[in-house]
Amino acid sequence: MKSFHPTPRTLMGPGPSDVHPRVTAALARPTIGHLDPEFVGMMDEIKGALRRAFRTENEMTFPVSAPGSSGMELCFVNLVEPGEKVVICQNGAFGGRMKENVERCGGVPIMVESPWGERIDPEGAEQALIDHPDATLFAFVHAETSTGVKADAERLSARARAHGCLVIMDTVTGLGGIPVEIDKWEIDAAYSGTQKCLSCPPGLSPVTLSDRAVEKITSRARKVQSWFLDVSLLTTYWSGNGQRTYHHTAPVNALYGLHEALVLLEEEGLEKAWARHAKMHEVFKAGIEAMGLELLVSEEDRLPQLNAVQIPAGVDELEVRKTLLNRFNLEIGAGLGSLAGQVWRIGLMGHSATYENIVLCLTALEQALIEQQANINHGQALAAAHAVFCR
């Protein structure tokens, strides 16, 4: 074996996103013990910064020592007991993963399904709540990574709360890229990932739990089925006024990276980060539309940081992605599920959401499509994107 040195890529797929150089540098700092007083102090700073990013006062706000899927599982295994009904909204791949989690917890999923690429229907969600008054939980995906659709989180949460349900929200692709208002929207449990708009490597999952959620967890009739993700055990490690009880060996250097990413977010300003993602989406959209391509999701329901671009007729979408990767060192994503072969998923997340990356992507994509003799407009994308950037 020899040391592994990957080819540097520009990451504009559905995640991971480009990692900021300051985060990369932070990862290489000296490893210290996970109960070292200096490390414990940094943990408290991470908790505070995540509360500010989530816009919450929840004490139980911390990063799970595993990728975003672990944050999802933590929320469900702690809040769902056997026999409980959970209303789940699905309009993409990750609502389906919620269903899988509920079933594995012994719960009963009540599905509210909307077409992939369209928003969750609040009326359909409320009808499910009316039809199942004994439901205790309501779950939805705020930023659906498989389609690029944004949910009306405030409206959905209000409907669920009116029917007495606790609310679980997936905002893996949302945090740091679009408004996330945990307290204002009265979300009881939310989870995210570090590899999207926070510009960290994958491997940590920020979560936040309301007092209502913690109360439900502490009053469970049975032990949580997962030892590692049991919030009552994790509390002893992530709480304690500077004191920590050993639960697991935390990924020390990965947490250095998250800490630096949160420093960067606060230096930029949360609202300014939201505005940057929105602006870069407008720049990208102008170039894509000038090229003659279309975005799948309607403008009012569209995520700025995850763009589902419809593939022109007759184009070999895999060959386009290979061209971008092999010639331009640029990664974009393929469609998932029912959208496989129909869209490319192009991310503008975190450190990847820059004008320079958009210029590279538009240039590379146009070249790859020209080589396939696609029916597009030549030579117009960059001028259109630049006009919006300068506006």
Structural domain includes residue 14: no
Residues 362 and 345 both lie in one domain: yes
What CATH number should be reported for the domain holding residue 215?
Answer: 3.40.640.10
Number of domains in the chain: 2
> At which of 266, 287, 322 does a domain end?
266
pLDDT at 236: 86
pLDDT at 237: 86
pLDDT at 240: 61
Residues 112 and 202 both lie in one domain: yes
Structural domain includes residue 180: yes
**Residue 50: which of 226, 213, 238 has the closest Cα?**
238
Residues 275 and 257 both lie in one domain: no
Structural domain includes residue 275: yes
Structural domain includes residue 12: no
Structural domain includes residue 108: yes
Over its C-alpha atoms, the chain yields an Rg (Å, rounded) of 21
Residues 256 and 333 both lie in one domain: no
Residue numbers of the domain that contains 221: 19-266
> At which of 237, 266, 295 does a domain end?
266
> At which of 232, 266, 300 does a domain end?
266
Residues 204 and 325 both lie in one domain: no
H helical segments located in the chain:
21-27, 37-54, 68-79, 93-104, 122-131, 153-162, 182-185, 211-218, 231-238, 252-268, 270-291, 317-328, 355-371, 381-389
- At 161, list the tokens: 């709360």
Residues 85 and 193 both lie in one domain: yes
What CATH number should be reported for the domain holding residue 373?
Answer: 3.90.1150.10
pLDDT at 244: 76
pLDDT at 262: 98
Residues 194 and 208 both lie in one domain: yes
The Cα 361–Cα 382 span in angstroms is 10
pLDDT along the chain (391 residues), means of 10: 97 97 98 93 96 97 96 98 98 97 98 96 95 98 98 98 98 98 98 97 98 97 95 86 80 98 98 98 98 97 98 97 98 96 98 98 98 96 98 91
Residues 185 and 311 both lie in one domain: no
